[in-house]
Structure 1
Amino acid sequence: MSTSRTRLAASTAAALAAALVLSSCGGSKSDDGSAAAADSCVDTSGDTIKLGFLNSTSGAMAISEQTVRDSLLLAAKEINADGGILGKQIEPVEEDGASDPAVFAEKIGKLLTSDCVAAVFGGWTSASRKAMLPVVEGSNGLLFYPVQYEGLEASENIYYTGATTNQQIIPAMDFLASKGVKTLFLAGSDYVFPRTANKIIKQYAAELGIEIVGEEYVPLDSDDWSTQVAKIVKAKPDFVFNTINGSSNVGFIKAYYEQGLGPDTSPIISVSIAEEEAPAMGKDVTGQFAAWNYFQSVETPANEAFIEAFQAEYGADRPTSDPMEAAYTSLYLYKNIVEKAESFDVDDVNAASDGVSFDAPEGTVTIDGENHHIAKTGLIGRINAENQFDVVWSSEGPIEPDPFLEGYDWWDPSAE
């Protein structure tokens, strides 16, 4: 086991012990009908393969997660039209995570041990992912997680197709430094991702000579940011770093503009507002910034085909976004790994994963078999009047994933 996985195992041992109760689901069936490993109930004997799609279609995160669901269904439809995976048609089994980590844990257990899916795709918040982690490990299942996150994690049972910290948060800070930013205010939802991301931001800010002049959090399901935004007004930061998730962004943006702030005073750089969310903010957010690894405006032949297919399926007014693209990519990566392994077995899939690539809309992506992340190019976009993002900064090329920030001397995980 690698150093990173050793640390992960230590942090989840107690939860994993409880999750093992969920893992007894009988033997799997191979193509000839014979019994396989006792810890899997995946049935590969027919002409279909069940895959779980677990996204919040209700609650505070539905504004974002519905888009991920749609892109997963599009990828499944395309793959089925092209012959499926190892000749088997994908049979999606859908569940609603209801924007609640406890529900995500319950539903992934059901998908893996009752529905007997070969893999699960979905989740958004780090709270939901961390709730699912001991369940998917205890069941020796697979989860493909499509959203940028705070890093400091690697699991043999999870593939991370969104950005880790050194592919989004650190590039965003590099961009701010290049703009001459000297003061920064941190605004986030009150859960794992924003608090951990802001710990990293504060340490890197010190390295860059950027002063943190405030740090405020509001619960994920709260829309009232008036008190916290008043503190931003008083602090007058050069920039606001926004790690808010879901519909709480609407309340934040409302208070921000109503209290006289704007992109010409204290502009915002966000890591969870994308093309789908921007027009839903209730205010004109032209001129604000976001850090991602994909924008609809990315010019690649694969992206042109992706946009055309998505809008043909869901309407010409529907934009694409980073988490949608990462989810779409995740299903194709899974297909390519399985076909390289010539097996749906989890251990076989993991053994085959290193170096598997896909010509994704964001550009060609390749799996690092050691940490189950993919290399991604860091991008900063500025929102234009059409709620699209003009790319104003890019990393020099794809950034290799470093989820534990082992290559950064300034990072101290033990610091407060």
Structure 2
Amino acid sequence: MQKMDLGLVFSTSGPYAALGQAARAGAEMAIADLEAEGVARITPMHRDPGGCQQNYETMTAEILRAGVAHVVGAITSWSRKDMIPVLERHGGLLWYPCPYEGFESNDHVVYMGAAPNHHMIPLLDRILRQGVQRAYLVGSNYVWGWETLRLARERLVAAGVEIVGERFLPLGDTDCNRAVTEIASVRPEIVMNSLIGPSNVAFLRGLPTQDRPKILSCNQTEADLDSLGDAGEGLISAGSFFEALGPDAFVARAAQSAPNGRCSGFLATTYASVRLLADSVRRAGTTSPRAVFEAACARPHDTVLGPVAVDPVTRHAALTPHIAALRSGRFEILASASAPIPADPYLINLPPVAMRTAEPSTLRIVQ
């Protein structure tokens, strides 16, 4: 049986603890399954930065100095960007399992999470085809919020949509009164919401349930649905995995491991990342990051996300985008791509802006 050490760096406490807890549960599930199947015995080195930005650098350095070559982790883009210089100095490889805003490709990262053409672009294009005239943008005040809303603004304005307001909240801030008041005043048809953690919960709970605009999200998953209660009803999200996609046996097992009993995209993508890493180490016959990365790119992989291929140039996974609506505490799939789509992190192959009379996109409607 193959043996290896693995760093796990997830904030299981702090402002976005629910996301970190779900991701860590996915990693631990994969580690247990790999040992039970006789594939690999992985010794994890856990670190909890607590959502404090400066801890990611120091904790990653601790892991790499201990001789560990691979790290699975980080939730926010701030944390990933703080880890990259350490990975570069020590020659480590980060397997990043979270959706992000794109415009990055680093030799020390494998991007397993959804890129903008897996979430923001198909989500907005679906809504634009339905006809929208007024939009409001709200996000957390860091790189994810800035960049996702920049992309949203450009896409919406190109389609002739008026941006009637835009507001950013400090990460973890729960005072959403000004945004809620502005939305009530300007009455947009849609709100593009890139808030995370407690800010997201406070915002959705603060919006009135009657006559609320359509809320769109690129990062809402099952990981923190419990905290929303009925406030998330009707929200539309995009991502590479939702609980409704199954497989049923995996979802049932994940329910036993996840802190909130739900199988989210954070859990599933981290699970897939650890398994893909272990398989690539086995094929490479070494834990050397360069050899392992080459092995990861050499063939497609069957995962709980569906077929996944890692591009050797962009270093991103090709994923199958899905759009889902939150109804009665469960995401229902509205549309899915018919096959995995290569990541386009720099949006160099951006499709034409969708208009109300446009032809259907590459996402098929789920009946």
Query: TM-score, with normalisation over the residues of structure 1?
Result: 0.81
Q: 1:354 to 1:236 in 2, by over 3 A?
A: same
Aligned equivalents of 1:355 and 1:208: distance in 2?
Answer: 39
1:311 aligns to what?
A: 255
1:408 aligns to what?
A: 350
2:238 aligns to what?
A: 291
Q: 1:284 to 1:216 in 2, by over 3 A?
A: closer
Residue 330 (structure 2) pairs with residue 388 (structure 1): yes
Amino acid at match of 2:224: E
Q: SS where residue 104 of structure 1 aligns?
A: helix
Aligned equivalents of 2:258 and 2:42: distance in 1?
Answer: 20
How far is the alpha carbon of 1:142 from its aligned partner?
A: 0.7
Aligned equivalents of 1:67 and 1:282: distance in 2?
Answer: 18
Amino acid at match of 2:206: A
How far is the alpha carbon of 1:328 from its aligned partner?
A: 0.6
1:283-362 alignment, distance < 5 Å: 283-299=230-246, 303-313=247-257, 318-362=261-305
How far is the alpha carbon of 1:47 from its aligned partner?
A: 6.8
Bigger radius of gyration = 1
Q: Residue 5 of structure 2 contacts residue 42 of structure 2 at CA under 8 Å; is this kept in 1?
A: yes
2:5 aligns to what?
A: 50
1:99 aligns to what?
A: 51
Q: SS where residue 281 of structure 2 aligns?
A: helix
334, 340, 362: which one pairs with 1:398?
A: 340
How far is the alpha carbon of 1:276 from its aligned partner?
A: 2.4
Tell me whether 270-279 or 140-149 shows the greater mean CA deviation: 270-279
Q: Output one character per residue of 1:32-70: Cα deviation in whole Å (capped at 9) or x when no partner.
A: xxxxxxxxxxxxxx9732101110011101021111111
Q: SS where residue 30 of structure 2 aligns?
A: helix
Q: 1:153 to 1:239 in 2, by over 3 A?
A: same
Q: Residue 329 of structure 1 contacts residue 358 of structure 1 at CA under 8 Å; is this kept in 2?
A: no
Aligned equivalents of 2:121 and 2:76: distance in 1?
Answer: 19
Aligned equivalents of 2:258 and 2:150: distance in 1?
Answer: 39
How far is the alpha carbon of 1:409 from its aligned partner?
A: 7.8
Residue 143 (structure 2) pairs with residue 223 (structure 1): no
Q: 1:206 to 1:396 in 2, by over 3 A?
A: farther
Tell me whether 46-55 or 343-352 shows the greater mean CA deviation: 46-55
Query: TM-score, with normalisation over the residues of structure 2?
Result: 0.91
Identity %: 29
Q: 1:320 to 1:409 in 2, by over 3 A?
A: closer
Aligned equivalents of 2:201 and 2:45: distance in 1?
Answer: 31
RMSD of aligned alpha carbons: 1.9
Residue 125 (structure 2) pairs with residue 181 (structure 1): no
Q: Residue 152 of structure 2 contacts residue 192 of structure 2 at CA under 8 Å; is this kept in 1?
A: no
Q: Residue 310 of structure 2 contacts residue 316 of structure 2 at CA under 8 Å; is this kept in 1?
A: yes
- Runs of 4+ that moved beyond 3 A: 312-315
Residue 64 (structure 2) pairs with residue 117 (structure 1): no
Aligned equivalents of 1:242 and 1:47: distance in 2?
Answer: 43
The answer for unaligned runs of 5 or more in structure 2 is: 354-367
Higher relative contact order (CA 8 A, sep 6+): 2
1:192 aligns to what?
A: 143
Amino acid at match of 1:220: L
1:203-282 alignment, distance < 5 Å: 203-256=154-207, 260-262=208-210, 264-282=211-229
Report the count of equivalent residues.
353
The answer for unaligned runs of 5 or more in structure 1 is: 1-45, 412-416
How far is the alpha carbon of 1:282 from its aligned partner?
A: 4.3
Aligned equivalents of 1:359 and 1:155: distance in 2?
Answer: 25
Q: 1:355 to 1:186 in 2, by over 3 A?
A: farther
How far is the alpha carbon of 1:338 from its aligned partner?
A: 1.3
Determine which structure has the larger strand proportion and give its number: 2
How far is the alpha carbon of 1:376 from its aligned partner?
A: 1.3
